[in-house]
Amino acid sequence: MLMKILFISIFATILPLQLLAQHQISVSLFPGYHVINTDEFVPSTRYDTFKTNFIFGGSISTRTEIQGYPFEISLGYSQGKSKAYEYYSTSEGHWYNYSADLRYQKIPLEALFIHPISEKTNVLAGVNVVAQYRTMVYNNISINNDRLLSFGIGLTGKLQTKLITFKGDTGHIFGNLTARWTEYLIHNARGRNVGDFTLRHVTLAPQIGVSWNLAQQASHN
């Protein structure tokens, strides 16, 4: 709930200003996969792990110029989880004691420089700033859920191409492949010692989306 409120607050304050200035908006949905996740469960003699490092989410973006250079400003939301089972061994085999879910909710804000390589294809690269809410949920055991709010920074790269155009080229359906590396450096520890805690995510996410140029649509009308 906290991450959704944060997403709505950022969306309501930042993106409308860009949309009013540029009249272009893009919306996309994506699955993603954590290629690197330093926070994932570690297999051991006591745990069976299910590394469901897939994430799902969406983003909304607009394009603008900064010092005369084209940039895309994007705001996203995604969530995912992985699971572990703790078990004890008997002569008859393994018996599960409890399970735990490691859940992530994240809001990436990205500023990407746009470099066209053809009429339909662009390469984008830039920086990301990410807020993430991480929750360890214990099942079938009386342990309170462990929550950690973290903030990170990193780099993002994207290859994007137009797939279908419509309404006199005022809108198009696009596909892209996004790679995001983020190091989480600031944690709301709430009194806990997180000095040796490392949280790094490298994510790959293919996306499908729709883009409209509202200014061009208004001129066509």
For residue 161, CA distances in Å to 126, 177, 209 come to: 18, 9, 11
Torsion angles phi and psi, residue 190, rounded to 5: 50, 50
For residue 195, CA distances in Å to 132, 186, 189, 198 come to: 18, 10, 10, 9
Domains in the chain (CATH in brackets) are 2-220 (2.40.160.20)
pLDDT tens for the chain, residues 1 to 221: 555 555 445 554 455 444 444 567 899 999 999 888 888 666 555 555 556 678 999 999 998 888 888 999 999 999 988 776 665 555 555 556 767 788 899 999 999 999 999 989 999 999 999 999 988 888 777 778 888 899 999 999 999 999 998 877 778 999 999 999 999 999 887 777 777 778 899 999 999 999 988 655 444 44
